[in-house]
Amino acid sequence: MKNLVVKPSTVEKLKQFHPWIYKDEIKKIPKGVVKGDLIKVISPKGEFLGIGYINPDSVITVRILTFDNEEINKKFFFNRIQKAFNYRQEIFDKITDAYRIVHSEGDFLSGLIVDKYADYLSIQFNTAGINNFRKEIIESLIEIFNPKGIYEKVDEKIIKIEGLEENKEQTIYGEVPDEIIITENSLKFIASIKQGQKTGLFLDQRKNRKIVSSYVKNGFKVLDLFSNSGGFGIYALKEGAKFANFVDISQVAVSQIDKNCKLNGFKNYNIVKADAFDYLNNLDKKFNLIIIDPPAFAKTKKEKTGAIKGFQFLVINSIKALEENGYIALFSCSHHITEEDLKKILLFASQKTGKKLIILEKLMQDLDHPYLLNAPPTFYLKGFLIKVV
């Protein structure tokens, strides 16, 4: 294992357990290293700082796996995964049988995502460094969970950057059905790991679905925009909503929403396959609660300005579509859109519509997607539940 020397200004950051080293923070990259190689990170004075893997072609050049001088082998991955699982079991086993097991940097396994759906696992190897330990990781998962099947998901943009074009979406262990029924707070949902967005369901919104639906009163009309599997609207129906209108542009999502509603015995719903922007632009109905949970509008800093304009349109038109004293749940899953950005978007919409907005709840990702204070990008999902008066 070769040594990589960081600049003096980076030493303190690593001592605070920040897991990323950017290219401009490196004093000297050792010769001959290739994507995914393990390297030992040291200070200019030769002090050990951590062990990670390198990608010389990436802006995030080194991702730290451990700040201890230890061997990176199967035992290392087994222990990390087992620890992450133990933490989740204590919190979630009475709530659901579907939750994230490993959340990349949030569980000190940068580049690895593992989700549990009942007796099945979904996995992503998002970096060359973590992909080099596929065998050790898969073996550990089998030993810990004894799953009926493991399915690999692939993010095309990421694997191109990491040179992992050989990775493909596939069943890598056992058998995985097209649909898996999971339970969440006594509701049933179909997880389509093979077809669904991300790794199947938006598990990170679990807590928020419950919080938002707790404000639903009998007779509420609910609009669930960018509804994906229909989680928010279905929770609202459970709490006594008179009606739920689901809007999503994906045919896969539309089909899944219908199945999920029927699975839970609901009949008072409507599903619209449409672009949410177009739908709002032509809307002539009024609702008591509108959920705005779009995909990541700003995956890069360059996209932030356009993303903010998109949010402004959505919020302004949602306010116009509300009954008196209605509610809006607004979310962003982009790291580049901050809580302050969302507040500014809401203030802008308040000014444009002449409505006052009361923040009732600050919302973030559920606990199976840990927000590691030492790694700010792990805080990615933020939102507000507001009342419009």
Same domain flag for 91 and 59: no
Same domain flag for 55 and 115: no
Same domain flag for 286 and 357: yes
Same domain flag for 94 and 61: no
Among 128, 156, 174, the domain-final residue is 174
Q: In Å, what is the CA distance from 116 to each residue of 42, 145, 363?
A: 36, 9, 23
CATH code assigned at 96: 3.30.750.80
pTM of the model: 0.92
CATH code assigned at 42: 2.30.130.10
Q: How many CB atoms lie within 10 A of CB 149?
A: 18
Q: Is residue 194 assigned to a domain? A: no
Sign (positive/negative) of CA torsion 153, 156, 158, 162? positive
Q: Is residue 377 assigned to a domain? A: yes
Same domain flag for 59 and 117: no
pLDDT value for 200: 53
Same domain flag for 41 and 119: no
Q: Is residue 183 assigned to a domain? A: no
CATH code assigned at 295: 3.40.50.150
Same domain flag for 157 and 206: no
Q: Is residue 191 assigned to a domain? A: no
Same domain flag for 6 and 153: no
Same domain flag for 134 and 263: no
User: What would the pLDDT profile of 195-215 be if each residue is shown by its tens digit?
Assistant: 765 545 799 999 999 999 999
User: What would the pLDDT profile of 98-125 be if each residue is shown by its tens digit?
Assistant: 999 999 999 999 999 999 999 999 999 9
Q: What is the pLDDT along the chain (389 residues), one digit of tens a residue?
A: 999 999 999 999 999 999 999 999 999 889 999 999 999 999 999 999 999 999 998 889 999 999 999 999 999 999 999 999 999 999 999 999 999 999 999 999 999 999 999 999 999 999 999 999 999 999 999 999 999 999 999 988 888 888 888 899 999 999 999 999 999 999 999 998 887 655 457 999 999 999 999 999 999 999 999 999 999 999 999 999 999 999 999 998 899 999 999 999 999 999 999 999 999 999 989 999 999 999 888 777 788 889 999 999 999 999 999 999 999 999 999 878 899 999 999 999 999 999 999 999 999 999 999 999 998 889 999 999 999 99
Secondary structure of the chain as H, E, C letters: CEEEEECHHHHHHHHCCCCEEEHHHEEECCCCCCCCCEEEEECCCCCEEEEEEECCCCCEEEEEEECCCCCCCHHHHHHHHHHHHHHHHHHHCCCECEEEEEEHHHHCCCCEEEEEECCEEEEEECCHHHHCCHHHHHHHHHHHHCCCEEEECCCHHHHHHHCCCCCCCEEEEECCCCCEEEEECCEEEEECCCCCCCCCCCHHHHHHHHHHHCCCCCCCEEEEECCCCCHHHHHHHHCCCCEEEEEECCHHHHHHHHHHHHHCCCCCEEEEECCHHHHHHCCCCCEEEEEECCCCCCCCHHHHHHHHHHHHHHHHHHHHCEEEEEEEEEEECCCCCCHHHHHHHHHHHHHHHCCCEEEEEEEECCCCCCCCCCCHHHCCCEEEEEEEC
- 62: domain range? 2-66
Q: Is residue 190 assigned to a domain? A: no
Total domains, the chain: 3
Same domain flag for 51 and 79: no
Bridge partners of residue 189, in order along the sequence: 182
Among 22, 43, 66, the domain-final residue is 66
Q: Is residue 95 assigned to a domain? A: yes
Q: Is residue 195 assigned to a domain? A: no
Same domain flag for 379 and 244: yes
Same domain flag for 218 and 166: no
Please enumerate, as own/partner, the contacts of 34-39 that have beta carbons within 8 Å and a separation of 24 or more.
Answer: 35/128, 35/129, 35/162, 35/163, 36/127, 36/128, 36/129, 36/131, 36/132, 37/2, 37/129, 38/1, 38/65, 38/72, 38/129, 39/1, 39/2, 39/3, 39/4
Among 27, 47, 66, the domain-final residue is 66
User: What would the pLDDT profile of 358-388 be if each residue is shown by its tens digit?
Assistant: 999 999 999 999 999 998 889 999 999 999 9
Q: In Å, what is the CA distance from 102 to each residue of 81, 85, 330?
A: 7, 8, 26
Q: Is residue 193 assigned to a domain? A: no
